[in-house]
Chain A
Amino acid sequence: MAPNAVAGADTFPKLLVRNAQLYGDRPAVRHKDLGIWQTWTWREALEIVRAYAVGLHNLGVKRGETIAIVGGNRPRLYWSVTAAQMLGAIPVPVYADAVADELAFVVAHADVRFAAVEDQEQVDKIQSVLGRVPKLEMMVYDEKRGLRDYDHSKLRAMEDVIADGRKALADPKVAAWLDKEIETGKGSDPSIILYTSGTTGTSKGVVLTCEGSIKAASDTVAFDKLTETDVALAYLPLAWVGDHYLNYAQGMVSGFCMACPESPDTAMADLREIGPSFYFAPPRTLELLLTRMMIRMEDAGVIKRRMFHYFIDVARRYGERILNGEQVPLSGRLLYALGNVFVYGPLKNVLGFSCVRIAYTAGEAVGPDLFSFYRSIGLNLKQLYGQTEAFLYLTAQPDGEIYSDTVGAVCPNVDVRISEDGEVQFKSPGMFSGYFKDDAKTAEVMTPDGYVKTGDAGFFDEKTGHLKIIDRTKDVGKLTDGTMFPPKYIENKLKFYPNIREAVAIGDKRDFVTVMLNIDLTAVGSWAERNNVVYASYQELAGHPLVYDMLEKHVAEVNRSLAADKVMAGAQIARFLILHKELDPDDGEITRTLKVRRGFIADRYSPLIKALYDGSSEADISTEVTFEDGRKGTISARVKIRDMKIEPTPTMGKAA
């Protein structure tokens, strides 16, 4: 598809009309229902959305109003988005698993009068907070089950709303009116409000314009050469910018088919059946898949297992280089081709990756091993970096320029700069027009010259020109000599080693960087078994000199990789220790989502931190622990400290 074919269509409803003309008989949406994949073509989708829009209008939805969309990836909910946009109303998707409290906040904050919801569960949830959302007048629901006996004065089934609209549309006057409504929509109108999940305080409603959204999506559609023949599986939360961008917006622009899974739990099986050509997965999902695969391989027969490991090893040596189009010896190519027949092909088939042309991952740091594993078996996995405020993409890795530690080159038409204090700032076509009803917060994130602050610290890699993200700006500290100290960046590098479960880096306002490590009992335990290291407890294993030796090697490798970056070279690890106990959410040391609580740890382990900086080679510590049943006890230990060699840097420059 030529990118300029979008010209003229500056809203999603107009794009839908265009797609119905261009790709009328091609599939627009698929959904597995009662075990069978149902398909709607672009023409059918347009017909349904038109009927739905008229139905909603008859219920009283007006231009400029907001409509909450609550539920999972179901065709009718996506159509609710387009139908609302057709009337000039603004869809506000809400996470299906949001608790009633969060739901009430968004619905109330966005002044929602109408809500399109998935099923009884969501209806119940909204009804439980009706008191807090006085403006809500009407809910339409997709799944009828269990709702038969509800009071229908404020409830309608989507099916009925669409049927009503269809009847009304038989009148040519109504059809003409709707055509005019679609025409009235302007590119500068707000297209959607996406509420950020709110890891930092309450959630904010990011307002995106029609034109901006479409421009941004057009750029990446061209970048990845997506066409109407592509297929994507929409299995990520509907309310998340990623789903709205990758599936909804890109699908509308390129005309590709979006497949909705049968249920959230069947996504993996559905993936295999659909065989998408465009795929996105957060690193956590990729990790889960890999682990599951490895466990199943261990259960396989001897021949299969040996074949698997042999060819995975071949893939490790040549796979990525072949994918990147580099020089590979003929023998390597032959072996890889053989491996493709016996291992990689079947493996990708089982995972549903057989047809994947472009795969992305983003959201958090991805381990280099994990990343290269998927690439080595021939999956074109790439990283991107983006934000809701930017309507997703800021940078993405172009084909052939893939580095596991960068998030890629700046996307076309996007302007990214690094501020004085290391913060990534951007201007992009899809840039948001502001936070809904919150000018103060909008002003906070905008620079005077119109850039948006991301809150992430990063820098451009000198060799590749790609962006590297290191941490949230507010977490980045400085050593006493002014070197930038990004704790999470260092910790992530350490945590990529299977032996290291958790790491805490210390260094803000100190002379040098030190780390406290947690070993991974499973990984180190199995290593100990193989190497005849006898231990009775976690504490004993953690303090074992051989374990220290092993981790010392890991830390040294991390130092070497830090030294390779001019900006990071000063933040090498000078000393480390292995903690005598696991960091535990029950003790308040890490959050339930496994994020390190720095302040608390600094306080609790102050004797150890003191020892790390006063040069002593060991320290005593005694900490209170909470057992599973709530009883408390204390653990005392003598923890050893190791000194590390600081790698010389090629250019001993310091960060600005």
Chain B
Amino acid sequence: MRAVGGPDVAVGDVLLSVENVSLSFGGVKAVSDVSFDIRKGEIRAIIGPNGAGKTSMLNVINGFYQPQKGRITFKGQTRAKMRPHDAAYGGIARTFQNVALFRGMTALDNIMAGRTLKMHANFFWQLLRYGPALREEVEHREHVEEIIDFLKIQEIRRVPVGRLPYGLQKRVELGRALAMEPELLLLDEPMAGMNLEEKEDMSRFVLDVNDHYGTTIALIEHDMGVVMDLSDRVVVLDHGNKIADGTPDEVKRNQAVIDAYLGVAH
């Protein structure tokens, strides 16, 4: 398959960098003056206590929120404003904290939806489902079947997503993001609400995605065990500020991080 990188392919150049980004909603400062970068092929975790601005950060990267200050550079291109569809075309895919799938559609159709951006046949052919549109659909279906095989969800191919248990929905959502063949995959709490076994499965898939497709991954996660095991580097936010950045071990020993999580006596 299209294995690009992998752990043996050393973590490389900067893929995305965030410089002095600030975001506020009215008087509430969600993110203030945060800078960090994500390198090609790494698994980058963003952690922090509740309300630290993690999801806001992800939404900024994704172009869903427009920061008031700061710059984002993705693949060497700096943009003041990034719109979600620009991000998607540029190769950024994401999953959501609360699963955002088409509940009435089957798992297969949901993942096929992730290929939309890659469909080129015009509306007319698609309407007829004939000629180039059909050829294209077959191609995309092959790709989607590989993802289904990869995530081991063959048995739910034809099941409407709304009927699936939560853990599987999360997996389908990951599948849809993968269908975009992203360069950068943003995962917003991929393991929230899962039991231990589901977490282990999901961790395995995250590692496999990174290894097999060479996808760069940025994830938000609360489970410290998962974060420490999976990620190459961790950035820690608290009240919208970056308080630490480094390898899991460095971050674990950082006094500011310990204080943020455990609280300090005033």
Contacts and interface: CB of A to CB of B under 8 A. Distances in A.
Contacts of A34: 142, 145-146, 148-149
A145 B208 contact: yes
Contact of A265 (B142, B145, B155): B155
A146 interface: yes
A263 interface: yes
A262 B6 CA distance: 27
Residue picked from B6, B154, B208, most chain A C-beta under 10 Å: B154
Contacts of A266: 154-155
Contact of A263 (B3, B8, B152): B152
A265 B208 contact: no
B212 A145 contact: yes
B83 interface: no
Given A34-B142, A35-B145, A269 B8 contact: no
Interface residues of A, number: 13
Contacts of B130: none
Contacts of A614: none
Interface string A25-42: 000000001111000000
A305 B154 CA distance: 31
Given A34-B146, A35-B145, A35-B148, A146 B154 contact: no
B23 to A, nearest CB: 39
A474 interface: no
B245 interface: no
B109 to A, nearest CB: 14
Interface residues of B, number: 19
The SS class assigned to the A binding surface is loop
Contacts, number: 36
Contacts of B148: 34-35
Interface in A259-297: 262-263, 265-266, 269
The SS class assigned to the B binding surface is helix
Residue picked from A34, A146, A149, most chain B C-beta under 10 Å: A34
B150 interface: yes
A262 B8 CA distance: 31
Interface in A137-165: 145-146, 148-149
Contacts of B154: 35, 262-263, 265-266
Nearest to A146: B208
Nearest to B146: A34
Contacts of A33: 149
A149 B155 contact: no
Nearest to B142: A34
B142 A263 contact: no
B7 A149 contact: yes
Given A263-B154, A265-B155, A269-B155, A149 B149 contact: no
A36 B142 CA distance: 10
Contacts of B6: 148-149
A36 B154 CA distance: 11
B173 interface: no
B8 A149 contact: yes
B199 interface: no
Contacts of A146: 208, 211-212
A149 B6 CA distance: 9
Contacts of B157: 35
Nearest to B207: A146
B212 to A, nearest CB: 7
Contacts of A265: 154-155
Nearest to B158: A269
A233 to B, nearest CB: 15
A405 B211 CA distance: 56
Nearest to B147: A34
Contacts of B141: 35
Contacts of A145: 150, 208, 212
A521 to B, nearest CB: 25
A263 B145 CA distance: 13
Nearest to A121: B204
Interface in B109-144: 141-142
16 contacts: A33-B149, A34-B142, A34-B146, A35-B141, A35-B154, A36-B145, A146-B208, A148-B3, A149-B8, A262-B154, A262-B155, A263-B152, A263-B154, A265-B155, A266-B155, A269-B158
Given A34-B148, A35-B148, A149-B8, 12 more contacts: A33-B149, A35-B145, A35-B154, A145-B150, A146-B212, A148-B3, A149-B211, A263-B152, A263-B155, A265-B155, A266-B154, A266-B155
Closest 5 CB pairs of A and B: A265-B155, A34-B145, A35-B145, A266-B155, A262-B154
